[in-house]
Each structure stands twice: as structure tokens, then as C-alpha cells.
């Protein structure tokens, strides 16, 4: 056989071997891809099992006393790794994103024992009362790129509103890579009012935490379940953040039920807002400390006025429709208040043991007096019927102006008893709610806003966020709006407990005031 034929045979053999090798390579590559696909599917299943494990654990632990919000399944049928998960606390300078170590994330079964928070006996409830902790989860149920979020503020103003708005936007954008974020202007009515839905970016909110009020505007009323739900469905919103008080939270509860009825995977979170601090379960509401701090300025002014005149009286009316936390706390902190009237404590104006006579007798001896009254204290007056007809846009009864009533009544009573007094009436009611949040409230606002975002991505809906015993928690809204705290409180309301709240007795010790009841029953 000549040399050329040998070369042809060798070339043909090499080609055959190469072809066989190529087929083997492709087969092995396909096998590897199949393995990778299988591994990926297994990992997705494992992640899904982990996310479902929390739901399973909660369902199992209900008998132990767990009070958990509703959980929705992943809208896309799979779960995602939390973008916050990293090897340590570090930051990407270019994007502004932060990363957290695994130890920061919530573990399945991570509950807070909240027995001391509730007035009900845990034993009668079948065991301890457990709340779900409000920390981030390693696996989330939504693809951040497919999230379309809406933020709305409802009801009256409160220090810290802009901080909450800012931190929701910042957390969505930088922590979860979500860019479709919208502000709803003018409260609930903004959902169905033309031109009242506007996109928000970090640039829009970067400095608003230094301002009072809310950049989104707010209003009372405007509740229309059908129109709001239609807007959410038509616009494709799948995360809703609602900042408001007890009435607003009742609206959230109805909205959650409507989304469930329409079979829409919409995750809704509430952030409780009231300077009155009258929302139950949580340690305190944001803006309360700032309002108390600002209220003291008015009391200081009243004290100076009272001490700068012969028979001088400084009278201050503070916010507190149904509860007297602001008036009580500000009076204790100020230390110069002689009389403090709140809605929870009954009193009489006339008679030898009444408020008027007590002030008169004090003026005879001390030459001055400082009086603080909560705006809702008219309802606790026993000897005069102080009421006003009608309701406001939120359905709340219109309050009788107890401040002006006391102003005129004190002057008249003293004059009838031969004393001409100088009374200065200070009403900072709306001033104390419009100031920027102080540093403590800013930290609280940021904590609550970030917890709300963590909660929606974790799959919870129909929950509100609040610190309970110092720990952020996801509180079911139906639990929040049904819990009563304090005597004669309504569902979803906290009032000063005159018997169990030591702050009330601290107030009594600070002011030295009596009961202001003319007929006191003697104890047996």
C-alpha cells in the first residue's frame, strides 16, 4: 500500500474519532445541562419548601398562641434569594446597596412572646401570645423587578410621615432593586382621582426626612373600596403601603379581603400613625415623642405667663381625642403642671372639690397655676354636659372646645369669688403635629418602614408593623383593630389605664391634684 493511501486512511480515522469525540462531548454537555437544570429545580424546590416551611410552622404553631398575618403563595410559583443576603455588612458604593450576613435574617419559628402586652390572660387564650418577628427573610416570594408598589398617607398629620415615606422608597429601591414605586396623593381618594398617582425615585425623597407634614398630601375620608380596588387592579399594583391610624387600618383590612375576593396577589402593609399613641399592642406610635417634646414648649410658655402676673393662670390645650397620653406625658416631663385633665379621668368643674375651686384656692396660696387639658376631656366632665352635634369627614364626633370652656369658666368663677386673675390660653394643638420628627422618632420611622418592606417580600399581607417589647413585629391587622387596651376602650383603641398605668400615678404625684369629685365613696 502506497504512502498516499495510508495518509487517507489515517485522515479518515482521525475524522471518525473526532466525530465520535464531538458526539460524546455534546452528549456529556447535554447531561451536564440536564444536571444543572435538575439541580436548579431542586434548589428552587428547596427554597420553596423553606418559604412554605414558615407558613407550615405558623399554621402548626397557632395552637401555641401564634398570631400571624395572612401569607400569600409566590405569584410566579417560585421564590427568590433576598438581594440583601451577603457575606458581611458591606456596601456597593456605586449602587448604594447594602448586604447583610445570614445571621440577621429571620429563622423559621422566630416569634416574640408578647404575653405582657395584652390585657387578656394568656392562660385563657390557650397559652402564650406569640407574634411574628419583623426581620428580613433569606427567601422572598416576589421578583423585585416585577414589583409595582404604591404608598399612601391617610388621616391627620404626624411628625415622621416623610421619614416613613422616604425609607419605604429607599428600602424598595436600594435593598430590593425595585424601581416601580408610586406615591398616591391626598389619601385614599388619590387612588381614583386623575393625576394623583405619581412615580417616586430616591431623588424625590432624599431630603424629605428633615420636613414636617407629608409630601404625598393627606386627607380624611375618601374611602371607596370599589374604586380603590379597581385602581389597584387596573394599574397592576402588587404592593401597597398605607400609613394611617385605626380607621385607616380598618380600611386596609377591608381592602385585603377585597383583593382576596378578586383573587389578586396584592401584598398590603400598614404603618400605624397617631400622635395620640392610642393604637394598641405596639410600644408606641411614631411621632408621639416628638409631639410630647413640642408640647412642653407650650407648657413652658404657660408657666412663664402664670409666674409673671399676680394671680396668673396658664392654660394649655393639647391633642388627645379619646386618650390623654400626650397631656399626661408632657405634664410629667414638664414638672410645672398643677392640673391635668384627660378623657379617661372623670372630674367635676364646680363644687368645693371641683376644678374651679381647686385653682382658686391654689391662687390664694401660690399666686399662680398651670393647667393642661386634652382636647377630648369634655366627655369626662360629670357635672356639665359638654357635647357638640355632628361628625367630621372621618366619622368622628365633633369635639366640644373644652379649652375655651375652661378659659371662660376659670375667669368667671374666680371673679365671682372676689379674685381678678390674668389667664393666658395657649392652643398649640396643630403646631405639635407639624414639626419634623426628632432623632428618636426618625429611627423608629426607619425601622417600621423597612420592616413593612421586608414583610411584603416575605409573603405577608394584611399586617401592620410595630415595635413590641422593643422588637419589630408583623401584627395581623384584624388583631390590631379588635384589641382593646384600657378601661372603656373601643376595639382597636388604647386608653390610659388609671389603675394599671403607673404613669398616671406619677402624674398625680407630680401635680398634687385631687380627684376633682365632690362625692368620694369611702373604702370599706
Residue 193 DSSP symbol = S
Count Cα atoms within 13 angstroms, Cβ side, for 505: 6
DSSP 422-439: EEEEE--TTTTTTSPP-H
Task: List the Cα angle 185/188/193 in 5-degree steps.
Answer: 60
Rounded Cα gap, residues 314 and 53, in angstroms? 60
Active site residue 276: yes
Distance CA 463, CA 457 (A): 13
Give 353-394 as a DSSP string. Answer: TSHHHHHHHHHHHHSEEEEEEETTGGGGBSSS------B-TT
Beta bridge partners of 111: 132
Which residues make Cβ contacts (< 8 Å) with residue 224, sequence separation at least 6? 188, 189, 192
**C-alpha 209: how far from chain center:** 16
DSSP 3-state assignment of 513?
coil
Task: Tell me the three cell numbers of residue 411.
Answer: 375667669
Q: Would you state the cell numbers that stand for residue 193, as one nine-digit string?
A: 382621582
Written as one string, the DSSP assignment of 123-190 is TTTTS--EEEE----SEESS-GGG-EEEEEE-SS--TTHHHHHHHHHHIIIIIT---EEEEETTGGGG
Catalytic residue among 276, 278, 441, 478: 276
Q: Where are the alpha helices (DSSP H) in 315-366?
A: 325-334, 355-366
Strand pairing category for 471-476 and 130-133: antiparallel
Cell of 140: 422572598
> With contact defined as beta carbons under 8 Å apart, do 355 and 339 qualify?
yes
To which residue does cell 390674668 refer? 422
Strands 368-374 and 180-184: unpaired
The C-alpha cell 405558623 sits at 58
Asked whether the CA dihedral 288, 293, 294, 300 is positive or negative, the reply is positive
Q: Read out DSSP for 468-502? A: ETTEEEEEEHHHHTT-EESTTPPTTEE---TTT-H
Task: Write a three-state SS string for 223-238.
Answer: CCHHHHHHHHHHHCCC
User: For residues 57 and 254, what is the distance between their CA atoms, to the nearest angstrom?
Assistant: 26
Return the active site residues.
276
Amino acid at each position: 500500500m502506497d504512502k498516499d493511501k495510508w495518509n487517507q486512511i489515517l485522515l479518515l480515522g482521525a475524522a471518525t474519532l473526532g466525530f465520535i469525540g464531538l458526539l460524546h462531548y455534546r452528549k456529556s454537555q447535554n447531561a451536564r445541562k440536564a444536571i444543572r437544570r435538575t439541580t436548579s429545580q431542586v434548589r428552587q424546590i428547596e427554597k420553596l419548601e423553606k418559604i412554605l416551611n414558615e407558613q407550615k410552622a405558623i399554621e402548626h404553631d397557632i395552637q401555641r398562641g401564634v398570631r400571624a398575618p395572612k401569607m400569600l403563595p409566590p405569584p410566579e410559583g417560585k421564590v427568590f434569594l433576598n438581594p440583601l443576603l451577603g457575606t458581611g455588612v458591606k456596601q456597593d458604593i456605586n449602587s448604594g446597596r447594602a448586604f447583610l450576613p445570614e445571621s440577621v435574617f429571620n429563622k423559621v419559628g422566630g416569634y416574640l412572646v408578647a404575653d405582657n402586652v395584652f390585657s387578656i390572660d394568656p392562660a385563657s387564650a390557650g397559652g402564650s401570645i406569640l407574634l411574628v418577628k419583623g426581620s428580613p427573610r433569606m427567601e422572598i416570594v416576589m421578583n423585585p423587578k416585577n414589583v409595582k408598589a404604591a404608598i399612601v398617607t391617610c388621616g391627620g398629620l404626624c411628625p415622621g410621615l416623610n421619614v416613613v415615606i422616604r425609607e419605604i422608597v429607599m428600602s424598595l429601591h436600594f435593598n430590593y432593586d425595585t424601581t416601580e414605586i408610586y406615591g398616591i396623593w391626598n389619601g385614599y381618594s388619590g387612588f381614583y382621582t386623575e393625576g394623583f398617582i405619581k412615580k417616586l425615585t430616591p431623588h424625590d425623597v432624599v431630603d424629605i426626612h428633615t420636613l414636617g407634614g407629608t409630601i404625598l398630601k393627606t386627607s380624611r375620608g375618601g374611602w371607596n373600596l370599589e374604586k380603590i380596588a379597581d385602581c389597584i387592579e387596573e394599574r397592576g399594583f402588587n404592593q401597597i403601603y398605607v400609613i394611617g391610624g385605626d380607621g385607616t387600618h380598618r380600611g386596609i383590612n377591608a381592602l385585603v379581603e377585597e383583593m382576596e375576593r378578586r383573587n389578586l396577589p396584592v401584598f398590603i402593609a400598614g404603618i400605624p400613625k397617631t400622635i395620640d399613641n392610642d393604637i394598641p399592642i405596639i410600644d408606641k406610635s411614631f411621632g408621639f415623642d416628638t409631639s410630647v417634646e413640642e408640647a412642653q414648649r407650650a407648657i413652658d410658655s404657660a408657666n412663664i405667663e402664670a409666674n409673671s402676673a399676680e394671680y396668673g393662670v396658664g392654660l394649655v390645650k393639647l391633642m388627645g381625642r379619646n386618650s390623654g397620653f400626650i397631656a399626661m406625658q408632657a405634664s410629667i416631663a414638664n414638672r410645672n403642671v398643677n392640673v391635668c385633665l384627660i378623657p379617661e379621668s372623670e372630674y367635676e368643674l364646680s363644687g368645693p372639690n371641683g376644678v374651679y375651686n381647686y385653682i382658686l384656692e391654689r391662687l390664694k396660696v401660690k399666686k399662680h397655676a398651670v393647667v393642661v387639658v386634652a382636647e377630648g376631656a369634655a366627655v369626662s366632665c360629670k357635672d356639665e354636659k359638654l357635647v357638640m352635634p355632628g361628625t367630621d369627614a372621618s366619622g368622628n364626633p365633633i369635639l366640644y372646645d373644652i379649652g375655651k370652656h375652661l378659659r371662660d369658666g376659670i375667669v368667671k368663677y374666680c371673679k365671682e369669688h372676689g379674685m381678678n386673675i390674668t389667664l393666658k390660653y395657649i392652643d398649640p394643638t396643630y403646631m405639635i403635629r407639624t414639626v419634623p420628627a426628632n432623632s428618636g422618632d426618625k429611627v423608629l420611622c426607619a425601622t417600621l418602614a423597612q420592616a413593612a418592606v421586608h414583610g411584603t417580600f416575605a409573603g405577608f399581607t394584611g399586617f401592620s408593623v410595630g415595635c413590641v417589647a422593643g422588637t419589630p413585629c408583623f401584627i395581623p391587622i384584624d388583631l390590631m383593630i379588635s384589641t382593646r387596651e384600657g378601661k372603656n376602650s373601643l376595639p382597636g383603641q388604647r386608653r390610659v389605664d388609671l389603675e394599671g398605668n403607673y404613669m398616671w400615678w406619677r402624674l398625680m404625684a407630680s401635680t398634687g391634684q385631687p380627684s376633682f369629685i365632690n362625692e368620694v365613696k369611702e373604702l370599706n
